[in-house]
Structure 1
Amino acid sequence: MSNRLTSFTNDGFTFDVTDEGPPEGIPVVLLHGFPQTAAEWSRVTPHLHERGYRTIAPTQRGYSPGARPSGRYAYRMSALVGDAVALIAELGAGPVHLVGHDWGSAVAWSTAAAHPDRVRTLTSVSAPHPMAFIRSLVTSSQALRSSYMALFQVPWLPEFAISRVFRAVESSSRPAVRRRALALSQMDGDQFDRIQRDVVDNGALPYALNWYRAMLIASPGGGAQKISTPTTHVWSTRDSALVRKGAELTAEYATGPYRLEVLDATHWIPEERPVELAGIIAARADGTA
């Protein structure tokens, strides 16, 4: 475990990896969400390192330059889970503490369900259990908040529109334009600039949108199963994308030790509340949750 992992391969693709912290520390695998890369965890990981954990954060399918297959079928959940399992196997350290945010949380849930032997504990951030999310669509305002997902099914237009917004903000000489963009996205300036650089300008956006376009493709990702893995779900009160109902229903799909943590933050918990999130991850990992 002393060698640093900078990449791994699966399904013929090469994925970039950020491997930091004590080399012999207990591994925590961190899965990023949309539209981000492994860099979304950069404010959380130092606090996990202080607690003795080694952090391994892959830049996932569609985001890593060496792992950008064309066509939505390549982004079905079973393929995304396969990438996570391949990374865990590459570590050679047995089951890991698995953490996911947003889409990374969806992959983490499905990985824990389909491969419980690979996951020691699970911390899901923002996105609830897949079945809890589906139920929340018909029992709350979640369907309204998720309407953008339907728009993302349209070919070409979403990536064109999103790219144009980022570039308009970049080229504008009016500070008010940037302030408005940050307010609407609920991001800070560093986060906004990083997404533009690593996702929009780097050509990842069309592939990242394929995660949404593959949502209705049936695959054995295990998303409907209950899990027995010790789990903590983290939801935030000012999340504009995900309502509390899904977070509350998630308890019904965890048969092992389970805890719901609620933070005062927007959807971007890893950037806004890194100290608290690191503490929650560590508490689940060391069994004190």
Structure 2
Amino acid sequence: MVSSYPLPDGFSDFDVFSLGSCLLVEGLLGFFLNAVTVAAFLKIRELRTPSNFLVLSLALADMGISTNATIAAFSSFLRYWPYGSDGCQTHGFQGFVTALASIHFIAAIAWDRYHQYCTRTKLQWSSAITLAIFIWLFTAFWSAMPLIGWGEYDYEPLRTCCTLDYSKGDSNYTSYLIPMAIFNMAIQTFVVMSSYQSIGQKFKKTGNPRFNTSTPLKTFLFCWGPYGVLAFYAAVENANLVSPKIRMLAPILAKTSPTFNVFVYALGNENYRGGIWQFLTGEKTEVPQIENKFK
């Protein structure tokens, strides 16, 4: 039965169904893969190291993004947002805080890997836990600002999910966007880029590459770059002149991040991959000696 709710401007029935299907696949797949990552950490004692705790924290943030995507998918199939204005604000806050936290934890893992491979410095539990708490509090602060008037949460072009409203592009939006982006995107991008460049140079010297050092930055920019470009474009031009379908590509790509992150940071980690295999099959695999074992 066809819904009586009108289609969002610029979208056909097929568009809404297709985007909703993409969100549903992203949400369910990302949630499942990250749930396995979390469960493996909790179940396999050998995985409980400070470095892997950062991977766990990333997985928890990504489960939040996946939950946000699943809610948006459900609304897309309804062709309207059924949770009202307060629900939109909650959805926007939840999606924003988990997205920012995910970006921060990606940078934290890059920083930790730099010290592992380049300075041979071990991450301590106290540092890992303190860093995780700081990231959640810091991102909660920036995500709460639109709730009290600095920035604003509103509907995406599909009008079945909510995020930071870039459609107005006014001084309130710009004054929030610039410092938020510097402290939650630009610095993290620099950390990821510089860390893996240094690791790559180290691998070249030793002739023993442990992983592809270009992959983390490429996947990071693929997932979050379009959203960043759109956000800054809206600060200087009228974003509403851009096709709604093109504008929806940014959140669709961003919500692929939880799935990519599992392959890059959990399955792409030889130690963590072995732990996940042991969790799923009960079979231990030969993995490198784990440092900083949880006692």
Q: Which structure exhibits the higher relative contact order, with contacts defined as CA atoms closer than 8 Å and separated by 6 or more residues?
A: 2
Q: Which has the higher helix share?
A: 2
- TM-score when normalising by structure 2: 0.26
TM-score (norm 1): 0.26
Bigger Rg over Cα: 2
